[in-house]
Structure formats: structure tokens, C-alpha cells
Structure 1
Amino acid sequence: MKKLLSASALLASFSALPALAQDNLRIDGLEVIGTPVDGEMGFQPAVTRLAQDIHDLDYLILVIITLITVFVTGLLFWVIVRYNKKRNPEPASFTHHTPVEIAWTIGPILILVLIGAYSLPILFRQQEIPEADVTIKAIGNQWYWSYEYVDDGFGFDSYMIGAPATMTSEEEAAGAIANRLDDVMIAKLEAAGYSRDEWLLATDTAVVVPVGKTIVMQVTASDVIHAWTIPAFGVKQDGVPGRLAELWFNADKEGVYFGQCSELCGQAHAYMPITVKVVSEAAYQEWLGRAKEEYAGIPQPLTVASN
């Protein structure tokens, strides 16, 4: 689908003045939820059913492999103690033990059936794309993402804050260097509503979606293989040039969520983050009107405040 970007929006994405887009995409008061935390272990909070399914499956398999490990380790110690040369000087000469062979055949089969019975419905739920409330096309580029709101006729590019395309001449004159954290970059992050902790995660423009709605992402790439990933949503899909793949999610909590390109895609792979802001339906509609006007040049009706 042809991207409907106005000339001014296209220039803004590459020029030194992306302030309008940033202001339109900033939703104040959102909690930062989907972000890595130093010193923590485990998954990010699950805010979709898909992510919760993955967490539950991981826990089930963790229990199974722990029990197997404990059983096998205990069996090894028992054999070492019970059948060592000192306690068993005359080794047995049998070569078969039918009950044991039946057990070690049926046992793993039952375990695999249990895992399959639990995991296959989860896989089908991920792969069966439901009817979308919002459809967004994500295009991976070296090294930024382009997004098209398919049903609304506009699109924009999304760069990491601090990427070369987001640098202004004033920032460069002040000694700032692209992709390096310094005082200028910290100020740049704070001006966009982020903190120092969101360095390498925050983008100058974010994907904005409504809470509680089914979002279908169409994922592809323009040059090499990329991957669109948001851990808190439980989604990851490779973007392959010439192919169009889909994923879906339905976030049940408002907030700011981060992801990264998850396929090694070249020199600046580490500087290709993803930012998604999940907002209320009212905030989404307000943002959508501004985005249509800015990115596609679609004028929006004026509203007159009532007394």
C-alpha cells in the first residue's frame, strides 16, 4: 500500500526539527511498563493473553524439567551407591529388563503429550489472526522502522532518539555525537518525555494503539531481515524483504512498552528500538486526528468549546 506521507512529514523525519511529530506522539501520564530492569530476572509483565500463555507454558515446562532433573540425578546417585564395586562385587549379567524399558518409553510419551496438549492451543491462538480493530504495517529498514496505519491512510518513520537522523545542527555544535549518551542526549530524552533509563529504547515517534483493541501488525522489511518484537505483548515476527507476515495482540493495560529489532541486521542493529504507547480510546482518537493531519495532510474538523 502506498504510504501517504506529506512532504513536510517526510522532511521532518530526516531533518533537524522533528518536534511536531514528537509532541503529537507523546502521551503524558503513561506508566513505563515494558522495559528491562537492571538486576531483575524473568519475563516482563504480561499485558496480553498471548504473553500470559507464554509465561504459563514456560512455568509448566520448568516444573517438568526440574522434576526430570531431580529424578535422574537421584537415580544416578542411587546407582552409584547401590551398585558400586565394593557393594556389588559380582556384576549382573542380564541384558534386558522389560518393565524398565516399558517405563522409559511410555513415560516420555506421556510427558510429550502433556506438553503438546498445552502448547498447541497456544500456538494456534498466536497464528490464527483475528479480525483487526486497527491494522498497522511495520517495515524494517537499516536502521529504523516505518509504520503505516493501513485503514487511516498515513504513515511515519520511527528512529531511536539519538540516531543520526534525529540530530540537530545545534546538538552537534554542542559536541553531541549520534548513538552516544551524554548530557545533550539526556536532555533530548527528557524533552521527549523519557528518562535516562530509556536510552536505547525510546524513539522519536511511537506506535500508538488503543487499550483493549485487537491490533494486527503486518511485518515486512525493505532491505535485510529484521524482527518486530515487544516482550510484554508476547509477540515476535521476522520481517523478510518481499514477504508480508502478520502478528496480533490485544493489550489490556495502558502504558509505554519497548522492544528491539531481534534479528542481526547490520552495523547499527543495536540502535533500532521499538516504542509502543497503549492509550485510552479517547486519547487514541485525539492522537489519530492529529496524526492524519500531520502525516497525511488530511484536515480535521475544528471543534468549538462550549461554554
Structure 2
Amino acid sequence: MQLSQLLFSQKKGLGVNSIVIKSLAIFCFSDATEEWQFGFQDPATSLMEGIIDLHHDITFFLIWILVLVSFFLFEFVFSLSGIKNIGLIIRGNTLLNDKKADTLLNSLLPTNIQHNTRLEVIWTLIPCVILFLIAIPSFSLLYAVEDLNIIESTIKIIGNQWYWSYELPGENFEKKFDSVMIPEEDLSEGQLRLLEVDERLLLPIEKQLRLFITASDVLHSWAVPSLGVKLDACPGRLNQVALWIKRSGVYYGQCSEICGINHGFMPIVVEAVDEGQFLEWLIPTSD
């Protein structure tokens, strides 16, 4: 977010004031990428919250699987290595004849088990249970994306080489505009390089929205991480997604499908505002 970046850009020589400012910045929402960022941006939709929760749940299972597999791997490697060393000691013991040495060594070797029904059932059921626990929230998220029963507003998004076009149809009006990246030399102080546009898309908060996404030339992808949306824009095809934004803010995204030489210069800026501000922007009053 612009505010957090501006706060963290203060010089180190500000003493206590600098510490206070940087502490306050911790509580700011992060709705744009930051330097050395590790992790997700702050979610602005229930969908993105669900995606982050699912990621954490899957990571939990992955860590336990990694620990378990690594434990057995190292256990087998070091135990067999130890048995080999013990075998050399046993065979080198002059007090034991060859027959006794072989008997003692065979007792230390792992048993050659070719079939164990109980073990096979266990290692089949455990992965099935894990996959089932992962699948339930996954299906919930998939259905949430397609939850288009109650729609309060529709926005059409068109990908072009190399900018975005937006259309907001209404009963007695239709708002259309293009959103183009601001060149680096034209940026104002505090604006983000390669992420600012000349006209932002304003969307109302706490409203059920439907986004239609398509393209006019080649494949594009409309992606805004904080909103939990990444949908392909395909020529001749309309893809749709449901969206419900829970808080105000400015959310940044980019085209996420390689679409040509200027693919990296197709930023997306969504500004979420209350319904009153949205209507003022959508239907400007004449003086």
C-alpha cells in the first residue's frame, strides 16, 4: 500500500518519531507488493481469506508429511549403515566362529516382509483422509467463485495490447473508459512505479458484483491478489467471477498471462469505495 511504503521510506535519523511511524505502518493494510515481501497481501474479500486459510491448511499437512518421510528416510539410512558396521565388528571378532557370526548378524538385519494387510490399509487410508480434508474447503472456494445468485452490479473488463478497458452498463447510462499505465517520468511523488494508471476502476464495497472478463486480441489475465481474483481474458469468450469487497482501499494487480512485448506494462488499479462515492463517480452530476 502507498501509505506503508511512504512511512517506511522515512530516513533513519528521526529517532523516536521514526520508530513510532514505522510501528504504525505495521497496522496498515498491504494491498500492493512490497520490497522483500514474503507471503500474501492483506485480503479484501472473503474469497481471498478462504484461499489463504486453505494455503495454511495444506502447508500444515505438507510439513507433517515432510517430517514423517524425512524421519523414516534417515532412520532407514542410518540404521542400515549401523548394521553394516556392526557386521564388520562381529565378523572380525575372533571369539565367534563363522556360523555364530552369521546367526547374530542375521538377527540384526531387517525382516524381509513382502505383505502386511494392516500396514497397507493404513498407508492407503491416511492419504485418502488427508486429500478429503483438503478437498472440502477447495470445493467450497470453487462454488464461492461461481456464486452468482444475487447480483447488484456488473462490470465488463476487456484486455487489450497493452491496457485494460472497462464497461459499466446501467439502465439509463453506460460508462466506458480505458485504463493505461502512467509512464515513469509522469509519476507523482508517492505513486508506485509500473503499477499506477491514468484512470482507476472504482467498485463499491459490501455489494455483490459480477465481473465479465474477455480480450480483444490475445490472451490476457486479470489478476488482483488482494481480491483473490485471477481470471483469464480470452478473445471471443466471456469468463465471469463473483466478487464481494469487504473494506475500502486501493488494490493493485497486473496482467498475469504473457501477451506480448509490453506484457509487464498492464497494471490494474481497483479502488474500493462506499456506495455514495461509487455512484458519484459512475453518474457524475452536471453543474
Counterpart among 163, 176, 189 of residue 187 in structure 2: 189
Question: Partner of 1:241 in structure 2?
Answer: 235
SS at match of 1:212: coil
SS at match of 1:121: helix
Instruction: Give CA-to-partner distance per residue, 1:192-246, whole Å, 9 cap, x none.
Output: xx624x1111110110011111221100000001011110010111010000010
Residue 103 and residue 145 in structure 1: after superposition, are their counterparts in 2 closer, same or farther (change >3 A)?
same
Contact 1:33 1:255 (C-alpha < 8 Å) held by counterparts? no
SS at match of 1:70: helix
Q: CA deviation at 1:94?
A: 2.8
Give the partner amino acid of 1:189: L
SS at match of 2:268: strand
1:268-287 aligned within 5 A: 268-287=262-281
1:112-123 aligned within 5 A: 112-123=131-142
Alpha-carbon distance in structure 2 between the residues aligned to 1:130 and 1:282: 24
Counterpart among 164, 175, 179 of residue 158 in structure 1: 179
Q: CA deviation at 1:33?
A: 4.3
Alpha-carbon distance in structure 2 between the residues aligned to 1:213 and 1:189: 32
Question: Partner of 2:126 in structure 1?
Answer: 107
Q: Which runs of 5+ in 2 are unaligned?
A: 1-27, 88-104
Q: CA deviation at 1:41?
A: 0.6
Q: Which runs of 5+ in 1 are unaligned?
A: 1-30, 163-180, 291-299, 303-307
Instruction: Give CA-to-partner distance per residue, 1:74-109, whole Å, 9 cap, x none.
Output: 111222233333357434333222222111111111
Question: Partner of 2:23 in structure 1?
Answer: none
1:125-164 aligned within 5 A: 125-151=144-170, 152-162=173-183
TM-score, normalised on structure 1? 0.73
**Sequence identity, in percent?**
37
Question: Partner of 2:45 in structure 1?
Answer: 48
TM-score, normalised on structure 2? 0.78
Question: Partner of 1:4 in structure 2?
Answer: none
Alpha-carbon distance in structure 2 between the residues aligned to 1:201 and 1:40: 16
Alpha-carbon distance in structure 2 between the residues aligned to 1:94 and 1:137: 63
Contact 1:33 1:256 (C-alpha < 8 Å) held by counterparts? no
Question: Partner of 1:93 in structure 2?
Answer: 112
Number of residue equivalences: 236
Counterpart among 28, 34, 38 of residue 35 in structure 2: 38
Residue 107 and residue 87 in structure 1: after superposition, are their counterparts in 2 closer, same or farther (change >3 A)?
farther
SS at match of 1:95: coil
Alpha-carbon distance in structure 1 between the residues aligned to 2:121 and 2:217: 53
SS at match of 1:34: coil
Contact 1:251 1:278 (C-alpha < 8 Å) held by counterparts? yes
SS at match of 2:85: coil
Q: CA deviation at 1:282?
A: 1.7
Alpha-carbon distance in structure 1 between the residues aligned to 2:131 and 2:34: 34
Alpha-carbon distance in structure 1 between the residues aligned to 2:42 and 2:61: 23
Larger RCO, structures 1/2 (Cα 8 Å, 6+ apart): 1
Alpha-carbon distance in structure 2 between the residues aligned to 1:286 and 1:44: 29
Question: Partner of 1:216 in structure 2?
Answer: 210
Alpha-carbon distance in structure 1 between the residues aligned to 2:69 and 2:86: 21
Please say which of residues 137-146 and 81-90 is displaced more in the overlay: 81-90
Residue 32 and residue 142 in structure 1: after superposition, are their counterparts in 2 closer, same or farther (change >3 A)?
farther
Counterpart among 200, 203, 220 of residue 206 in structure 1: 200
